[in-house]
Every structure is written in C-alpha cells, then in structure tokens.
Amino acid sequence: MKKTVLALAAIAASSAAFAQSSVTLYGVVDMSVESVKGNTAGKSTTFNRVSSDNLATSRIGFKGVEDLGGGLKAKFQLESGLKTDTGAFGDTARAFNRAAWVGISSADAGELRIGRQDSLIGGQIADVIGAQAYDTSVVAVTLGGSTYRRIDNALTYIAPTFVPGLTLSAQYSTAVGVNAATAENTAGSNTDRAYGFAANFAQGPVSAGVSYIQVNTIANGNQENVGLFLYGAYDLGVAKLTAYYNDDTNDGNRRADGRRLYGFQAAVPVVANLTVTGGYGFARNVGGTTVTGTGFGTPGKNIAHDNAGIITLKAQYDLSKRTAVYALFTEVQNGDKAALGLAGVTTIADKSARGLAVGVRHAF
C-alpha cells in the first residue's frame, strides 16, 4: 500500500512539473488564386496565378513557456514563413525569418525578449491595418509595413500593466539586418542601429496607439530613417471604424522627406461569421517607391502629383475558429509621377494597378 501511494505521489509530482513547461507547434496555411494588373511601357500586363500569403503569411513555428517559480517565466518563439504555392521557405537566408527570440517575463517587472522579432511599429501596423500584399502599408512601401517590418538583434521590453488597457513597449537593435542580414556591424559603427517605442490602449469599444522607429543609415553619422504611426478606432457594434496616419522621413535625403500615408477603414459584421472591411488610403510623396536600409527613392517631398489613392476591400467568412475563406480587392490610383505597384507587379507613373484574390486560410 505504501509503495502504491509513493508511486502515485511520484506520478503526480512529475505531472505537475511537466505542466509547468510546454512547447506548442503551430502554423498557418494561406493559399489564393489571384489576378493582378499593372502597366509596363504603356502596355497593360496581367498576371493570373496561385499565390501564398494574401490574407495571412503561411508559416510554421514553435513557441514555449516554462514556469520558473516566483512569478518568473521563460519564453521562446521560432517561426518561419512558407511559400505554400511552391513549398519553399519564405526566406532562404534565414531558417526562422519571422521570429527567433528568447525571453524572461514577470507580472511585476514586465517582459524582456532578445533576438529577431517584430519591430514595434511593424507589429502595430500589422495588427491595425494589415501588412500583407493587398494592404495600404505594403502598397505604399512604408518603413514599418515593409522595410522594418521585423528586425534582427533586438531587445524588446514590454512594461507591466500600470494602467488598465495600456501597454507600453521599448525596443533597441544593435543591427536591424536590412543592410547586413548575416553579420553584426564593424567595431565603432552605428549603421543599422535602431530605437523604437509603442503605446497601445484598449478599453471597451475604444482603442488607440502610437509607434515609432529610428534607424541609423550612415556609420558614425546623424542620418536616420524615421517612421511614425498613429491610429484610433471605435467599435460601434454594427461597424468598427479605424483612422490612421503614417509618416516616414530620411533626414539625409530632403527631397524624400515626408512620405505620408493616412486613411480610414470600416469593418462591418454583415452576418454571423462574415465580415466585410473597406478602406481608403492616400499616400503622399511616393514618386520614388524604393525604401531601403540606406534611404528613400526620389523624387519625393514637394514634387507635384506624386501621390496615390489606395482602395481596399476584404470579405472574410469564418468556417470555424481555424478556417476561413476570403476575397480581397485593391486598386491603386497613381498620380502623374507616382508608380506604386501591387503584389510584386509593377506599373509606370500615372497608371493604375489592381488585384483580386480569392482564397482559403487555415490555422493549426
């Protein structure tokens, strides 16, 4: 009898220890059929194709947490994007291009994460207006939605909750990885060093936030890429209304300062499980569409007619908590000197671009 009791106690103790540590395998598979139209040399070009990642990025990942006692927890996440139309990894240069970090958290002291992860501005943009190919943040080639969507070598601190509904975060990177994806900076150089912060507030139907990133682009100099994003939203029940503003600058290229994107969107729950979202974004000073780790394309600030309007429509029907079918439509209306493309399909200035995608997203 004593042996039986001891055996049961040992099993219970081992089960309790196991419950304090967990690892989860998860992923998303997103596939769609799409038709994207651009314009090259004055001639219309249309691509009809099967594509991955239009509603959400296809991915596979591992995440885990261990209870260390005393309110402390250890966490990690490893996540890789996939191109499920071909079976290839999303980034051949990295095994885990979306996330590779480890962290320590405490309810009283907050959480610290170290490694490759979302930039604070990139994560906020993705949550609020989206950062996929058909979304305004990507079409307009914003710093947070495109160039610095994720960063390497980052330390992120998430503060404990001081005010109900308010989340504060700060971030620093020794080298964001845009210019040197596989190496740190040389000694004494501050190229690619980055700073950022974010504040998010959600209370009842109201939500709002601001995020910021500053990335050094010249060694031992004062030239930076700077991105700022603000948003506010109100859920009326019959519709959730969101307004946003994004401002990107590069202080070493005055012609390209003031790349701005502002707009609104409305998400309407039409019937059970079906939500339709419509939006309009206006992008200013986007005549030079290239935004890289070293600066902006030109022309830019104060160049006439280098603006573009971006119309977005999305319908999503949830078949279950994990599976949804969707339809996306985006049209880019370029000004005389703007040439924003869509989903990798380029167009020339003063010509529109548009795309339609119908697909399935499954999460596991």
User: Residue 264 belongs to a domain with what CATH number?
Assistant: 2.40.160.10
Task: Determine, yes or no, domain membership for 182.
Answer: yes
Q: In sequence order, what are the beta bridge partners of 324?
A: 318, 361
What is residue 14's predicted lDDT score, i.e. its pLDDT? 42
The residue segments making up the domain with residue 316 are: 29-363
DSSP β-ladder status, 99-106 and 150-158? unpaired
Residue 11 included in any domain: no
Asked if the structure places residue 47 within a domain, the reply is yes
Half-sphere exposure in the Cβ direction for 84 (13 Å, CA): 21
Dihedral, 94, 290, 215, 171 alpha carbons, nearest 10? -50
pLDDT of residue 48: 96
DSSP H or E segment with residue 3: helix 2-19
Asked if residue 270 is part of any domain, the answer here is yes
State the pLDDT at residue 186.
60
β-bridge mates for residue 157, sequence order:
112, 170
Confirm whether 22 is domain-assigned: no
Cα angle 45, 131, 195 (rounded to 5 degrees) comes to: 130
Please give the pLDDT value at position 4.
39
Flag whether 13 is in a domain. Answer: no
Please identify every stretch of the chain with a pLDDT value under 50, giving residue numbers as ranges: 1-19, 180-182, 255, 298-299
Within a domain: 7:
no
21 occurs within a structural domain: no
Count of domains observed in the chain: 1
